Structure 1
């Protein structure tokens, strides 16, 4: 995450947790590769994904718009997080961003429509 955006979240005293359905080895690799500073929880059975209504979609991941944007990234020599060849991953799983209060009430929910669909930090903070 961009350090400036992380500073915005930290300034609001929010706890951020990244949830992954992957294995410990893949999660550790991703954290190191992306320099993520937040705690990561593993949900290999995808119970949290199901509880928050997150699905997987070939159509939403491999649509023309995403492929065009990925091609632009490659043309601009942008670096992508790299997977490990020894770890199977589900590239069609869609994620989301959620804000919960201390009582676990959902204050903000954003279910991603594609891998690139993320709300702005300001939009997330507006839920606080």
Structure 2
């Protein structure tokens, strides 16, 4: 497999205390940037959606996590911000050109690793050596 030089940046709209707690509880080691005015969120077209977040199927999915003992970050209610804020995944090159734009359609919507690697690969070839260029 070819090596990639990528930097992951987590962007959150919350405050410092909540961000620090989330990083501790999730074990996330990526750099986090706080965007309390949501300027970055707006630039990438990310809004809030009660309808998308609160659909029965997603609530059922999360309840299944609880049933099998999967832990969620335990954020005190005073630190909860906008639970309806939609996220996304974006890949930018060093010059700031957007290589992949994936605004989430729902709370579980994320691009696959293959999609991320394909976007990161300048010529669109797979890094596994088993796939061919698209």
TM-score tier, shorter chain, comes to: 0.7 to 0.9
Q: 1:43-97 CA distances to partner (integer Å, 9 max, x unpaired)?
A: 0000000000001100000001101101211111111112123313110000000
How much does 1:13 deviate? 1.1
Instruction: Decide which of 94, 97, 112 is 2:86's aligned counterpart.
Output: 94
Instruction: Decide which of 117, 122, 125 is 1:125's aligned counterpart.
Output: 117
User: Secondary structure at the residue paired with 2:119?
Assistant: coil
For 1:12 and 1:33, the matched residues in 2 are separated by 28
How much does 1:114 deviate? 1.4
For 1:47 and 1:127, the matched residues in 2 are separated by 24
| Aligned residue pairs, count | 119
Q: Which residue of 2 aligns with 1:78?
A: 70
- TM superposition outliers: structure 1 runs of 4+ over 2 Å: none
Q: 1:84-124 CA distances to partner (integer Å, 9 max, x unpaired)?
A: 23313110000000000111010001001111111122211
Q: List gaps (5 residues or longer) in structure 1.
A: 1-7
Q: Which residue of 2 aligns with 1:21?
A: 13
> Cα RMSD between the aligned structures?
1.4
Under a length normalisation based on structure 1, what TM-score does the superposition of the two structures give?
A: 0.88
Under a length normalisation based on structure 2, what TM-score does the superposition of the two structures give?
A: 0.84
Closer, same or farther: CA 112–48 of 1 in aligned 2, 3 Å: same
Structure with bigger gyration radius: 2
For 2:34 and 2:41, the matched residues in 1 are separated by 11
How much does 1:125 deviate? 1.3
